[in-house]
Every structure is written in C-alpha cells, then in structure tokens.
Structure 1
Amino acid sequence: MAVNNIVTMTNHNFELDCKRIHDSLGGLSQLIPSLACLTHLERQQLRETFKAVYGEDLISHLQRYEDELSSSSLNCSALSWWVLDPHDRDAVLAREALQHDETNFKALVEIFVGRKSSHVLLIMQAYQKMFRRQLDQDIINLDPPHPFQKILVALAASHKAHQADVSHHMSKCDARRLYETGEGSLGAVDEAVVLEILSKRSIPQLKLTFFSYKHIYGHDYTKPIKGGKYGQFGKALMVVVKCICNPPHYYAKILYSSLKGETRDTRILARALVSRAEVDIEEIKRVFKEKYEKELIDVISEEIPFGDYRNFLVALASRSK
C-alpha cells in the first residue's frame, strides 16, 4: 500500500479523525501514515478530542489494538512515541533505556544532548510523575558502573546550572584546558576536567568549545580521543562529542546502522525518526545521501518488510519538519 494513496488526516475535523481511528479495528493500518503527517499541536488536539469523545486515551487505544497491526508491537510503540508529548516521550524512552538488559546509553545521550534545557527539566518532571523515580538518580545508581554514567550525570547538571548566552572567550579557555589536560599532557587524560566542563556549560557552549578546539589546534577534539589515551571513558566521550558537534551526521550514521549494520535494530530506527522528524530530518536525509549514496527513504523501503510499519517510517522520513 503506497503512502501517497492514503487519505491525509485534516486539522479541520478532529472528531471525524477520532471516529475513523476508533472504528477502524482491522483497518487501522490505513490511518497510520496519516498520523505521521500531523504536527505536534495537531497530535495533541487529536489526543484531547479522542479522550473527550470516547473517554479513553488515544495511546491506550492504539496499544489495545496492537494485535490488529500487521507489523508487530514495534509499530504500536512507534505510534505511541509519536502521539506522546515530546517530554513525556523522552521520559518513556529514558525509562526503557535504563530497563534494557544492557543500558542503552546512546538513547540517554541523545536525550541530554539533543534537547533544550527547558525541555530536559520537563523530561525529568515527567519521569518522576510517570515512574515515581528521579531520572538522574537512576543513572547514578546503575550497576555495574560505566563511563557513560559520569558523563550523563555531568550533562544532567549542565541543564540546571549553565549560562544562557554563549561566550567565545569561555570556549577558548575551555578548549585550552581540554588540550592541556588531554593530548597536551604527558599522563592520562584528566577526566575530572572534562566532566567539570560538561557539567557547567550548555550544549551550545560546548559545541562552540569544540569548534574553538579545532580552530586553535588544527583538528577535531575527537582526534586525540581516537588515539586511545582516554581509555574506556574516551569511547563514551566520543559518542557525546559527535552528537553535540554534528547531530545530522550522528543520526545519519545511527539510521544507517539500524538498517544495514551487523546488528540491525528497527526500534533504534523508529526512535531516531520519531525524535528528529520535527527537528532536522531534512538535513539528516541530505547527509545520509552524501555518506551512503542512497536516499534514506529508499533504504527503509528496501530493508523493512512491506506493510503499515514501513509506511509509517517512510512517512516520518518524508516530512519536511
């Protein structure tokens, strides 16, 4: 079933849209790509209308008809993520990342690096409300300890105590500190300095610092990390720096790996598309084509079995924010 042949939902009659969803039963697959076309405000209004008319939350309804979907519960999860308010979605994704057999640290990094500070505070509030737990405390309490923990705790702190404006002077000073306690030192890297900077600077400020590092020393900050001097801490730091410095490149690689990598993972694919569909999906698609010489939509169509789940992912990837 081609996405183009599906009737797009309208923002003029949400009650009718809700009726089509409520009465769909086995025909829900025809509505899935249409949901991908809605803006955040339209999805919010749709959910509110569904609750008012049918007395049931739209997400609960979608989950209830999970067995009616043709492509497994992954489809239902992706739809639920999409319909949720962004901060509620990130709270759910964070909880899922922490409860995974092996903690999904990359998912947590993407939340703390890719969201504004005001949004991160809402995520933490939503996490506490939903799960009656503190997100940053759950990260601290992970066992066994992992280098990502220190970095994530620092990033969580940065959203609570940073300056709103970026400073070129500060970025140059921080770049020099990173150099002098990293590749410019004789011993091992001083993790404490890295963590201090991560905890006290905003994401835009950190991005400017890494730009200053390249300007001053002639190469990216990731170059000395690759040299091995940073150890296991460096592997975690590498992910964070790449996600901060160039999100489209980071997500293009994530999407390609989830589709064509040795360990393919459609859940990672769905998470990335849902998270970036209203942020920078056009730029990600451009980078994807440059790096892999294929359109993202074409690769999704090649690798995901024909059906409503594929149509939903293609519809998300087809958005222009």
Structure 2
Amino acid sequence: MASKAMTISRTKSLESICKEIHDSYVEEKQLIQILLNLSQPECRKIRETYMKIYGEDLILRVSFLSNLMLNPFECDAVVAREAIYLNDRVNYMALIEIFTCRKSSHVLLIQQAYHAKYRCQLDFEIGSIEPPHPYQKVTVTALSASHKAHHADISQHIAKCDAKRLYQTGEGKPGAIDEAVVLEIFSKRSIAQMKLTFFSYKHIYGHSYTSVLKNQYFGEFEDAVRAVAKCICSPTTYFAKVLYGCLKGTRNDKGAMARVMVSRAEVDMDEIQRDFKKKYEVELKNVIVESIPEGNYRDFLVAMATKTSTC
C-alpha cells in the first residue's frame, strides 16, 4: 500500500488531485478509486486541502468514506457518539472495541476529540446512559479507568495472582462471578496486563476464561466480560467474526463493516483476513462480492480488502 501511495504522491501534488476532483466533479466511483490509491494520512490531507481551496467537505460526497478522511481520534470519537445516540439501542460492542483495541495514549486523544467536537465528556456520556446496563459498568467503570491509571510494565506475578482471583471468584465457587473483583482488575490493569492474565488463566487451569463465561445461567455482565476478553486476547479473530456476521446478516450493526475495514486497514487487516480464511475457508473479498449488492459500496469494500492484502 505504501509503495502505491508514494508513487501517486510523487507524480501528483495534493492540489492537483483536488483540482482533478473538483474540475471534473468526479463520480462517486472515481472518487473512491482516487482515495483508495492514497494512504490514510494522504486522504486526510486531501480533505483538508480540498476544504481550504474549494470550501467543500469531501465527506459530504460519500459518507462511508468519512473514516478515510478523519484523523483516527476524531473518527473514533464519531464512532463513540454514534454508538451512544444513533440507534434506539446503545452499541456497546463498538465502545468496547475502542477501549480494548486502542493504546492508552490514543484513548486519551479520542476523549479530547470527543469533548472538542461534542462539548461533553465521553465517560460522562456513557455513564449517564439510562437505563443502566451491565456493559456500561465494564465499559466506563472499568475499561476507561484502566487507560488512566496503570503501569506501563507488565508483570507475570500480577497476571498469575489476578488469574487465581478470577478463578476463586468465578468457576471456583458456585453462582455468578464476582462483579466487584472483575471490575477492580479491569480498572487497575492495562490492556496488555489483562491479556497476560487471561493467558495465565488458560495456562494454570487448562482452559480459557471466556469458556467459563459461556455458562447458560450467567447473565449480561458475564457476556460483557466475555466480549472484552475476546477483544483483548485475539482481536484479529474477533474482527474476522464481526466482518463475517456483517456480511451474512447475523450482526445488527450497520456501520461495523466499513468501521472495521478502515480502522484496521493499517493495523492488522492482513492478519484479520488470514483468520477469516482459516475460520470460514473462504477469502474475505469473495464473501463481500457474494453478499453485498453491486454498487459503489461493494466496490469500496472490495478495494479495501484488495488494498490491505497487497500491503
């Protein structure tokens, strides 16, 4: 991807690309091709340059391209806002993705971008959702706090101790897991430390912590903890499952497909595509073609899949 983007940036300036877009008033399909031939930072510069020269926001042209042209922190701020307010039901999984799959420095910038754009604190917005929900506790009470107060170094000793506490207050006793213990660990440990804890749990007890949470008698809190653990332990497998669910209609999250394809494009999309093929025995690109009606949105998704697979 980098080599292709560099070739284009060497032969055409940002201004000339903007002029090409403006003068010909390119069709949606052409705009998609132009932007997908650039890196995400270059797409953001195109948007800024176009706005400066012509006073028009390119995002208004094609809404599903907005993730390409927003900076990552602003993009996640928009995702968080839509997760809370866009539908009748809060999209807690989109929020969990943000808090588990971003670095602490990134989360801080997301919160700053959210405040700058919407004039309110993201944590307060999540915490104020009514009626209260178990996912809410895990998201704002624990995960958000974990990004504010933890040590950068990870400890094998702490991981083993936390794993034993999870066992003793979970499958090691009858009844539901102890919410207070889980929330305390989640709020005081970094994402990397929690990942080590979950691996230690499997090493010590011979099975994953998420398998324990499949108990049919458990409730929504355990479901939330399981979702967090999956995102932390194997994000690429998690995102492969999200994409498959979107394509097959088993996941009720309209924005997830484009959100994942763009947000993970320059992070781990190659690994996601490998996990996708391993789990479902088919290429992601082929499932997109089979599942999405012909049109610019499908062209965009196919181009993203092709682009990332050849990085």
* Residue of structure 1 in register with 2:16 after alignment: 16
Report the counterpart of residue 77 of structure 1 in structure 2.
Answer: 63
The 5 Å alignment of 1:30-49 reads 30-49=30-49
Deviation at 1:278, TM superposition (A): 1.1
1:118 paired residue number:
105
1:62 is matched with which residue: 46, 59, 64? Answer: 59
What pairs with 1:84-123 in structure 2 (closer than 5 Å)?
84-99=70-85, 100-123=87-110
Q: Return closer, same or farther for 1:62/1:45 CA change in 2, 3 Å cut-off.
A: closer
Counterpart residue identity of residue 11, structure 1: S
Alpha-carbon shift at residue 312 of structure 1 (Å)? 1.1
Tell me if the contact between 2:8 and 2:37 (Cα under 8 Å) persists in the aligned partners. Answer: no
Separation in 1, partners of 2:24, 2:139: 43
In the alignment, residue 147 of structure 1 is paired with which amino acid?
P
2-side partners of 1:8 and 1:294: how far apart?
A: 31
Equivalent residues in 2 for 1:157-236 (5 A)? Answer: 157-228=145-216, 230-236=218-224
* Partner of residue 307, structure 1: 295
C-alpha contact (below 8 Å) 1:88/1:126 kept by paired residues = yes
Distance of aligned partners of 1:200 and 1:229 in 2 relative to their CA distance in 1, 3 Å threshold: farther
Against the structure 1 CA distance between its residues 107 and 9, is the aligned structure 2 distance closer, same or farther, given a 3 Å change threshold? farther
Letter in 1 for 2:281: E
Distance 2:217 2:27 in 1: 56
CA contact (8 A) 1:189 1:229 kept: no
Task: Please report how far the alpha carbon of residue 301 of structure 1 lies from its aligned counterpart in structure 2 after TM superposition.
Answer: 1.1
Q: Which amino acid aligns with 2:137?
A: K
Cα distance in structure 1, aligned partners of 2:45 and 2:26: 24
What whole-Å deviation, never above 9, does each CA across 1:158-207 have from its counterpart, x for those lacking one? Answer: 00111111111111111011111111123431100000111111111111
Question: Could you tell me which amino acid in structure 2 is paired with residue 114 of structure 1?
Answer: C
Q: Following TM superposition, by how much is the alpha carbon of 1:16 offset from its aligned partner in structure 2, in angstroms?
A: 1.2
Q: CA deviation at 1:26?
A: 5.4
- 1:195 aligned counterpart, secondary structure: helix
Identity of aligned residues (%): 55
Q: Quote how far apart the aligned CAs of 1:43 are.
A: 2.0
**Stretch of structure 1 that moved more, 262-271 or 146-155:** 262-271
Contact 1:37 1:316 (8 Å CA) reproduced: no
Report the 3-state secondary structure (helix = DSSP H, G, I; strand = E; otherwise coil) of the residue aligned with 2:307.
Answer: coil
Q: Distance in 1 between matches of 2:137 and 2:252?
A: 28
* 1:211-257: CA deviation from partner (whole Å, max 9, x where unpaired): 00000000000121112454221111111111111011100110000
226-235 vs 269-278, greater mean Cα deviation: 226-235
After TM superposition, give the deviation of residue 263 of structure 1 in Å: 5.0
Query: Taking structure 1 as reference, are residues 248 and 17 closer, same or farther at Cα in structure 2, changes over 3 Å only?
Result: same
Asked if structure 2 preserves the Cα contact closer than 8 Å seen for 1:9 and 1:35, the reply is no
CA displacement at 1:319 relative to structure 2? 2.8
- CA RMSD in angstroms comes to 1.9
Q: C-alpha distance in 2, partners of 1:18/1:181?
A: 59
Change in Cα spacing, 1:266 to 1:315, as seen in structure 2 (3 Å) is: farther
Distance in 1 (alpha carbons) for counterparts of 2:7 and 2:300: 14
Q: How many residues align?
A: 301
Distance (whole Å) between structure 2 residues aligned to residue 8 and residue 170 of structure 1 = 45
Structure 1 window deviating more from structure 2 (234-243 vs 185-194): it is: 185-194
Decide which moves more: 37-46 or 278-287: 37-46
Task: Say which structure, 1 or 2, has more relative contact order (CA 8 Å, 6+ apart).
Answer: 1
Q: Distance in 1 between matches of 2:297 and 2:175?
A: 51
- 1:130 is the counterpart of 2:117: yes
1:41 to 1:8, Cα distance in 2 relative to 1, 3 A: closer
Unmatched 5+ stretches in structure 1: 1-6, 66-75
Tell me the residue number matched to 1:144.
Answer: 131
Q: Give 1:78 shift.
A: 1.9
Q: The residue matched to 1:318 in structure 2 has which SS?
A: helix
Distance 1:51 1:159, change over 3 A: same
Q: Which runs of 4+ in 1 moved over 6 A?
A: none
Q: Secondary structure at the match of 2:9?
A: coil
